[in-house]
Structure 1
C-alpha cells in the first residue's frame, strides 16, 4: 500500500489531531487543532492544552501526531520548529516526511 502524503489527507482547518508528547519517559496525549500548512515546509497547530492550561513545548521537541478518519488511522513524527504566543499560543511543526496508515475498522462508523 502506498503511503499517503500529508496533503492527500485533505485535512480541513480546525480538524482535530492528537499530539503525543513526552514528559520524561512518560508519553502524554493532547488534542490540537490544525490551523493550516505550507506544503513541504511546516504545519501550524494550536498549542496543546490540558484543563484550560497551555502545555509548554520547546523547539526541537519531537511529537507524534495522529489523525483518525473513517476506517483508517494515520500517524507521523514531527518536531517543533517554532513556538508562537501571539496572538494566541500555536506551534509550527515540521512537515512530515512519511505517514503511517493503519486500517482500524472494516466499515465506517454510522450514527444510530
Structure 2
C-alpha cells in the first residue's frame, strides 16, 4: 500500500508540474506514460516472483526474488496466494491504465 501511495503522489506532482510548465500544450495522456511504465515493470517483477514461488523445484522455499517486488509486497506473511494476488492486481492495474491512456489519446485527437 505504501508503494502505491508514494507512486501516485509522485505521479500527481509530475502531472502538476507538466501542466504548469506546458500550459495549453499539456496532454493528460502523456502524463500517464510514466505511470504505465512503472506499472508494467511492477507486473513483470511480481510475475517473476509469483512463478518462482509457485514452482518448488526452483527454490528452497518462498522468497522475494527482486528488489521491486520487495518494495511492493513488503516483509509480512508471504505465501504463494499473496504473491498471486499482488500479481493479479498489478495486471489489472496495467490493463486499466493502458485503457485509460488509449481513451485519453483518442479523445485528444
- What TM-score does the superposition give when structure 1 sets the normalisation length? 0.24
Relative contact order (alpha carbons < 8 A, sep ≥ 6): 1 or 2 greater?
Answer: 2
The structure whose residues are more often helix, as a share, is 2
- What TM-score does the superposition give when structure 2 sets the normalisation length? 0.25
The structure whose residues are more often strand, as a share, is 1
